[in-house]
Structure 1
Amino acid sequence: MNKELDKSQSTAALRDTFVARGVATAHPIIASRAAGAYLWDEKGRKYLDFVGGIGVLNVGHNHPAIVAAVQLQLESFSHVCFQVVGYEPYIRLAARLSELVAPGQGYKSVFLTTGAEAVENAIKIARGYTNRAGVIAFRGGFHGRTLLGMSLTGMSAPYKQNFGPFAPDVYHAPYPNAYHGITSDDALKALQTIFSTQIQADRVAAIILEPAQGDGGFLAAPAEFMQALRELTRKHGIVLICDEIQTGFGRTGKMFGFQHSGIQPDLVTVAKSLAGGLPISGVVGRPEIVDAPQPGGLGGTYGGNPLACAAANAVLDIFEQENLLERSVKIGEQLRAGLEKLQVTHPEMGEIRQTGAMVAVEFVSDQPARTPDSAIVQRILDAAREEGLLLIKCGVERNVVRFLSPLTVSDQDVSDALGMFGRAVAAAKAAT
């Protein structure tokens, strides 16, 4: 077949011909522009975007302050590589994140490009500091698509496929999930079993977890579990890493998800909404741990790109100026209230989960048995798109609908989204 570029082909047809099949796209539309909480496709149709690039756009599409900051930086330079010469936006961002993650404790940062890179570097730092190899992650967790990221991820499909063998010295423990009968005590006992049967605690470099699992179903770790985990890691000299790539920057109603439990992690990974859509990630942590690698052991050509650092500093300004943490809490409360009303007439909505504006609904086909229903979720996503609302799914069984609205969204937009979602649920049920 002749695959030369045919300019008469639609963008969608070109995508099918030239883009790898392994890159999934949740919705069969092609974006043409976006602003605030809205996105328009090539045909000019307007959608209320409650995906936000998968939790990347907490300040909305094309926030004017971010556009201005990037334009200003672009006039000076777009790239020099921090491993060649330093620049002020990188250094200022490190200082600001230090105060946000651990005020007054002098935490240090290294900036990278993707969330998976941040995770890999956090593990590398922890291993360098402890001189240990073992890492414990949790079932249902998602930590990226690189070799180590896949190894740490606690889900098989679609991430692991036939991509093994995976990185060694990685162990998985159950994550608390009260809806499906896994208590904090169960999860803690399972950790002790790992220490007894698979790897001694004094050979574990790090325990990594999301304070609220993102792709795993928006499951928030109970405060008592986080506190017990912090005590356990201190006891055994294990580095505690909080993966805040999806939970960070206001999504949970606080700047970081770990702050709900009153603990202080050793390392924090950040990405996604840090820069309002520009690619940047980082590891922020205790100085004695972050400084364990020798010079040259950390970094990357594009890590902490000047344009992304400028955008990230603008994002932090926006949080201060627009009170987005308070707004996150209010958005979450409005969504929960509306979803609970729908749940009365739609028992398939098995559980509503909400931490700040991190909101999700798990769908089940049998309430008493809590049997996951992934089929209805896909029908809901398709019906919601027809209504003009973009949503995506998550959960190990892909039976959870997640809401990732911008924190700048209006009350009316949230109300409109709830109406669209309700009609989509009804349509999905009628289609069975």
Structure 2
Amino acid sequence: MEDLTYRLPQQRVVNTAIPGPRSVELDARRGDNCARALQPGLPAYITDGDGGVLQDVDGNSFIDFASGIAVTSVGASNPAVARAAAEAAQHLTHTCFLNAPYEGFVQVCETLNEITPGDFPKKTALFSTGAEAIENAVKIARNYTGKNRVVVFDDAFHGRTNLTMTMTAKNKPYKAGIGSLAPDVIRVPGSYPLRDHLSGAEAARRTLRVIDQQIGAEDTACLVIEPIQGEGGFIQPAEGFLPALQKWCRENNVVFVIDEIQAGIARTGQWFASCHEGLEPDLITTAKGLGGGMPISAVTGRAEIMDNPPQGSLGGTYAGNPVACATSQAAIEQIRELDLCSRAREIEAIIREELEPLVETGVVAEVRGRGAMVAIELVNSAGDPDPELTAKVAAACKQQGVLILTCGLDGNVIRLLPPLVIPEDLLREGLQILAAEITAE
């Protein structure tokens, strides 16, 4: 990969036990003052980040394979994004677009209408979080169709609000003990090639049979799906599965909603994961990498669908905040200037080169995903999910200065989300540490 310019040294440094003494002090303060549910996965407290590294309060430097869960794709302190934030904040930190509008909001909408898939007139609404975007996509679809039911999928993750928590598949920690869930959300089987051994066409027939027999298209407002499932395990559906669902939606007046909150904005090697199979979703949700580190989200879709809700029914106090709009434009421009779509594909090739040999050990069942959104699924000698090994490997990597995330309903998937600007040497070093921990068990 081409070398880029960085502010911080792109090297792993472990000066103390993890966590170090200052992080231990800060974590004690967290325990005393923050809600117990807010339990960080990394016990080290971060003070700086750049390129592919995160530095903590004790002088340790971690290889970042998380990107703030696919948020800091252009780096945690990209200079262009930082300049855009500083410049914007000197003029407007906030006004609320619905009260006193500003150009940046319109610019982000124009950009998303341009880069999202689909050769048809589009419009966009901006929000603050991914869950907000999903909730509003459902609201827009229900308003447009006059129908109520929402179809979601096994292994899905869409957020932690009441509606999106209901749409999310995993019970613990997201739903257990929380209370009543939202009505009219129905879950159906998806496509998990490693486990169901079905082609895309076969998986689609199974899914659509369930919808037709148990839900009914006449009562279904929308079908919401991630093109690559995130928290569910970076599950990449078999080829042909998503196009078949899109075709069914068009034939049955069901709004086809693609959740690109984690997979979009160059993460998978194209602007959107939908592009890999030529999908043209009716509505597409974005967030995470869209803001370059600042909170912003969006729903973009067919103009006739987006224009159906009445005035005042969409929005939010912080929706499309002016500083976040400025960083969004800067992040998108950085993706273009640095050709980060191509770099994501190079990252995938390196990950596969380093990790695919582990499939021969029998511990790694599969390396899957696209671009810089790749996962490895760990299994035991019987071929069953091995969450204990996965947790052990993740903890060992963190102790050695490599931040990785786990996912999957069985807790046996390691997901890799490095910044798209990570240097090759650092990427390979982190992957080799991960591989050594897996084979050491």
| Structures share fold, TM-score greater than 0.5 | yes
Please name the residue that 1:129 is paired with.
Answer: 144
Cα distance in 2 for partners of 1:410, 1:115 equals: 28
C-alpha contact 1:222 1:261 (8 A) present in aligned 2 = no
* Aligned-pair CA distance for 1:70: 0.7
Q: What is the TM-score when the length of structure 1 is the normalising length?
A: 0.94
Cα 1:282–1:376 change in 2 (3 A) is same
C-alpha contact 1:55 1:246 (8 A) present in aligned 2 = yes
Q: What is the TM-score when the length of structure 2 is the normalising length?
A: 0.92
Q: 2:354 aligns with which of 314, 327, 338?
A: 338
- What code does the residue aligned with 1:22 have? A
Identity %: 36
Structure 1 residue 391 corresponds to structure 2 residue 404: yes
- What code does the residue aligned with 1:227 have? P
* Aligned-pair CA distance for 1:282: 0.7
Report the secondary structure of 2:90's partner residue. helix
Cα distance in 2 for partners of 1:130, 1:103 equals: 20
C-alpha contact 2:71 2:293 (8 A) present in aligned 1 = yes
Structure 1 residue 79 corresponds to structure 2 residue 94: yes
Q: Count residues in correspondence.
A: 418
Greater CA drift, 61-70 or 34-43? 34-43
Please name the residue that 1:422 is paired with.
Answer: 435
- What code does the residue aligned with 2:108 have? L
Matching of residues 237-252 of structure 1 within 5 Å: 237-252=253-268
Please name the residue that 2:82 is paired with.
Answer: 67
C-alpha contact 1:176 1:186 (8 A) present in aligned 2 = no
Cα distance in 2 for partners of 1:311, 1:196 equals: 44
Deviation digits for residues 132-153 of structure 1, max 9, x if unmatched? 0011000101000001001111
C-alpha contact 2:117 2:275 (8 A) present in aligned 1 = no
Cα 1:235–1:104 change in 2 (3 A) is closer
Cα distance in 2 for partners of 1:330, 1:249 equals: 16
- What code does the residue aligned with 1:355 have? R
* Aligned-pair CA distance for 1:106: 2.7
Please name the residue that 2:27 is paired with.
Answer: 12
- What code does the residue aligned with 2:282 have? D
Cα distance in 1 for partners of 2:95, 2:111 equals: 22
Please name the residue that 1:234 is paired with.
Answer: 250
Q: 1:221 aligns with which of 224, 228, 237?
A: 237
C-alpha contact 2:118 2:281 (8 A) present in aligned 1 = no
Cα distance in 2 for partners of 1:374, 1:116 equals: 27
Please name the residue that 1:3 is paired with.
Answer: none
**Structure 2 portions without partners, runs of 5+:** 1-21
C-alpha contact 1:387 1:424 (8 A) present in aligned 2 = no
Deviation digits for residues 60-110 of structure 1, max 9, x if unmatched? 110000000111111111100001011111101100110101465331111
Matching of residues 95-134 of structure 1 within 5 Å: 95-102=110-117, 105-134=120-149
C-alpha contact 1:175 1:182 (8 A) present in aligned 2 = no
Report the secondary structure of 1:198's partner residue. helix
Deviation digits for residues 343-373 of structure 1, max 9, x if unmatched? 33x321111113111111000013xx53000
Cα 1:145–1:125 change in 2 (3 A) is same
Please name the residue that 1:174 is paired with.
Answer: 189
Greater CA drift, 160-169 or 194-203? 194-203
C-alpha contact 1:242 1:269 (8 A) present in aligned 2 = yes
Matching of residues 307-326 of structure 1 within 5 Å: 307-326=323-342
C-alpha contact 1:388 1:420 (8 A) present in aligned 2 = no
* Aligned-pair CA distance for 1:221: 2.1
C-alpha contact 2:118 2:280 (8 A) present in aligned 1 = no
Please name the residue that 1:187 is paired with.
Answer: 203
Report the secondary structure of 2:353's partner residue. helix
Cα 1:48–1:355 change in 2 (3 A) is same
- What code does the residue aligned with 1:93 have? V
Please name the residue that 2:12 is paired with.
Answer: none
**Structure 1 portions without partners, runs of 5+:** 1-6
Cα distance in 2 for partners of 1:198, 1:150 equals: 22
Greater CA drift, 176-185 or 288-297? 176-185
C-alpha contact 2:117 2:281 (8 A) present in aligned 1 = no
Deviation digits for residues 22-54 of structure 1, max 9, x if unmatched? 123111111121112111111110101111111
Report the secondary structure of 1:372's partner residue. coil
Report the secondary structure of 2:32's partner residue. helix
Report the secondary structure of 2:380's partner residue. strand
- What code does the residue aligned with 2:245 have? L
Q: 1:410 aligns with which of 393, 412, 423?
A: 423
Greater CA drift, 24-33 or 293-302? 24-33
Cα distance in 1 for partners of 2:369, 2:204 equals: 23
Cα distance in 1 for partners of 2:102, 2:259 equals: 27
- What code does the residue aligned with 2:357 have? K
Q: Show structure 1 runs of 4+ deviating over 6 A.
A: none
Deviation digits for residues 171-192 of structure 1, max 9, x if unmatched? 1111111111252345323433
- What code does the residue aligned with 1:420 have? I
Cα distance in 1 for partners of 2:265, 2:211 equals: 34
Please name the residue that 1:156 is paired with.
Answer: 171
Deviation digits for residues 303-341 of structure 1, max 9, x if unmatched? 000000000000110011000000000000111110013
Cα distance in 2 for partners of 1:60, 1:322 equals: 12
Q: 1:257 aligns with which of 264, 269, 273?
A: 273
Deviation digits for residues 257-293 of structure 1, max 9, x if unmatched? 1111112000000000101110011100001001111
Report the secondary structure of 1:253's partner residue. coil
Matching of residues 347-366 of structure 1 within 5 Å: 347-366=362-381
C-alpha contact 2:153 2:187 (8 A) present in aligned 1 = yes
Structure 1 residue 22 corresponds to structure 2 residue 37: yes
Structure 1 residue 277 corresponds to structure 2 residue 293: yes
C-alpha contact 2:151 2:186 (8 A) present in aligned 1 = yes
Cα distance in 1 for partners of 2:214, 2:432 equals: 50
Please name the residue that 1:306 is paired with.
Answer: 322
C-alpha contact 1:336 1:354 (8 A) present in aligned 2 = no
- What code does the residue aligned with 1:421 have? L
Report the secondary structure of 2:89's partner residue. helix
Report the secondary structure of 1:84's partner residue. coil
- What code does the residue aligned with 1:150 have? M
